[in-house]
Chain A
Amino acid sequence: MAMERSYPAVLADRYAELAPTLAHHSVGWLNRLREESAARYRSAGLPTPRVEAWRFTNLKDLVATDFALAQALPPVALDSLPRSSLLAVNGHVLAFVNGKLRADLSTLDDLPAGVTLLPLSEALRREEGILSAHLGRVVETVENPFIDLNTALMEDGIVLSLAEGAVLDKPLHIVSIGVSTQGGDKPVAFFPRLLAVLGKNARATIFESHAGIGDGAYLSAMLSEIRLEEGAHLEHYQLQNEGRAAFHIANAYAQLAAGAVYDHFALQIGSRLSRNEVHAALLGEGARCHMNGAYLGLDKQHLDSTTFIDHAVPGCSSREVYKGVLDGQAHGVFQGKILVRRDAQQTDGHQLNRALLLSRGAEVNAKPELEIYADDVKCSHGATVGELDETQLFYLQARGIDRDSARALLIEAYVQEALDEIGNAEARLPFQRLVGGWLKSRKD
């Protein structure tokens, strides 16, 4: 039986009904943007595995869930969320619960000159100019129903704008907490939005912690738009540690002008089904991109890391290292596309994806994809899938280390190699703690 190329558009039928209740519906240009997005989303629907880019990640369970937009804040105490489930970062904090800003959990200290950092809801009141100039621009020509879904239904988010040469003094920590509904209420869906615009030679660091409270379903579907002007440098670190019945579909799109640097790392350990997409378009000569990540899966988790690096002009470089550890019946997906366009001579692009399977039921699909149209380039990619090395285990055991500890030591070393790709040691540490916690919670 042939499968259609699209599933029905979740929540689309309720857009009209929900639109008036969305925050900021009174802003005209935004309303038009939302309506166009909603219409596109409604007709496109969500992709089935018949669509090549979604071959390994099936959204059928997400489509079968009857979501509602998050309404009033749920009566769950936030202190039931262990601090250890978030990245431990000192900086400016913008916290959201089910997509809604929690001012009481947020701290925006005095900001340096040239830095605008606001919740999206407030930016609409105070800095509408930044929004109308940039919102939706980075993803304008991209076809991805989750972009449209986010634009149609986003309620709040983060706006970070740096003037030429400005430096964000401390990291920005975006905390998104999903609280699953109880009783007969429908699972909630929320759509945080990040807009980050860094002017010439500006510098900033962004951490994201996505975590969950409760063991029910919810959908967290963030969209990030990132614009880096000449020589700008953004470090962007993501932790996906959603509740274990949650769906997490996140998309980040970055555009780099000449000499800009985008340093990215994503760790995925939570959710029942996730897809973390990161796209970087290298649009100016000498732009550099590090796109790294790790995914650690247990039980029946499905963790998808999909990346796309577009070398559009000469003399850019990209380096990508992804490592996965899969236990139980977990399913990992790595899709890494590197496009080197005809003009992009002297491109330097490297990609490595490795996965470690700890059990017979675990599975990984790896799809490296190098599409090269220029002839003077240095590009490589490698992919390996393997198990723990018995010889190494024996060596450790021969020194008195029991088998479980020896396995843990080898797994940790394996993940460490991915963490080592984080150039900034201070940023590496919080991820190391999360990985350490994951290793401890894992049972052999």
Chain B
Amino acid sequence: MSLIEIKNLHATVDGNAILKGIDLTIEPGEVHAIMGPNGSGKSTLSYVIAGREGYEVTEGDILFDGKSILEMETDERAIAGIFLAFQYPVEIPGVANTTFLKAAVNARRKAAGEAEVDAMQFLKLLREKTKLLGVTDEMLKRAVNVGFSGGEKKRNEILQMAVLEPRFAVLDETDSGLDIDALRIVADGVNALRGPERSMLVITHYQRLLDYIVPDKVHVLAKGRIVASGGKELAQELESTGYAGYADTEAA
């Protein structure tokens, strides 16, 4: 069974139609990339998958494991195994990063009928995951994303993904605001999480990220529709031609 099936997805934000019929199927273990110009609906797609309030699905469906997720709350989707790495990770003053990660882990354990994670065990688990991403103990102690640099915020997103081990992760412009070294660290972190059971949807404006996270398939999103799909070479093609060729592809 496909892990994710997006069928004829239409969505509005504040009454404006943004997604206008998206069809996308992702198999377990596959990494797909969605590329597209600004305003094409990339971030809207990520928020619709995560179930953000104000993003209304007017037609179509999203199936996860063959079941519709549209009626599920954001947190229920997360517990089911869907993860969104935010383009702009949110700062939460007063909540320590560790507290936040532990609350997320315990929410999952509670849903699975398991006891809360042991504090020492949890720290051990965290240490393993932080090494690869260069997340320091100091970053764990600080309030979530508060005072983090752009690169630290993105590393923190991938750390959360590593700890929560989702089955489907949407990476929304994870490359934005990163210099080449930071990008490499983040990409290494993501690649380490690739596996036969885990699928990813990498949303990006630039082909650069896809040099490091090499996708199985590439889709081009323009004006709320997928207008082209292909292999990883499609990304390279776009790098030389730009999105100009897709600007007028919207069907009437």
Contacts and interface: CB of A to CB of B under 8 A. Distances in A.
Contacts of B160: 399
Given A399-B160, A401-B104, A410 B75 contact: no
B103 A409 contact: yes
B92 A403 contact: no
B75 A401 contact: yes
Interface string B87-118: 00110111100011001100110010000000
B107 A417 contact: no
Contacts of A405: 103, 107
B71 interface: no
Contact of A394 (B52, B93, B107, B111): B52
Nearest to A414: B94
A386 to B, nearest CB: 13
B99 to A, nearest CB: 8
Interface string B57-74: 000000000000000011
Interface stretch (B10-18, B29-37, B78-86, B241-249): B78-86
A394 B74 contact: yes
Task: Summarize A's interface: helix, strand, loop or mixed.
Answer: helix
B107 A400 contact: yes
Nearest to B111: A400
Contacts of B84: 398
Interface of A: 390-392, 394-403, 405-406, 409-410, 412-414, 416-417
A395 B103 contact: no
A409 B102 CA distance: 12
A409 B73 contact: no
Nearest to B104: A399
B60 to A, nearest CB: 22
8 contacts: A394-B52, A395-B89, A395-B90, A399-B75, A399-B78, A399-B160, A409-B103, A413-B93
Given A391-B90, A413-B92, A398 B74 contact: yes
A399 B84 CA distance: 8
A390 B53 contact: yes
Most central of A399, A403, A410, A412 by chain B CB within 10 Å = A399
Nearest to B52: A394
B87 to A, nearest CB: 12
Given A390-B53, A409-B103, A397 B73 contact: yes
Interface in B46-62: 50, 52-53
B227 interface: no
Nearest to A406: B75
Nearest to A413: B94
A414 to B, nearest CB: 6
Contacts of A392: 90, 92
B164 interface: yes
B164 A413 contact: no
B74 A397 contact: yes
Q: Which 6 A-B pairs have the closest CB atoms?
A: A413-B94, A400-B78, A395-B90, A397-B74, A399-B104, A400-B107
Nearest to A399: B104
A402 B108 contact: no
B90 A417 contact: no
Contact of B108 (A390, A394, A400, A409): A400
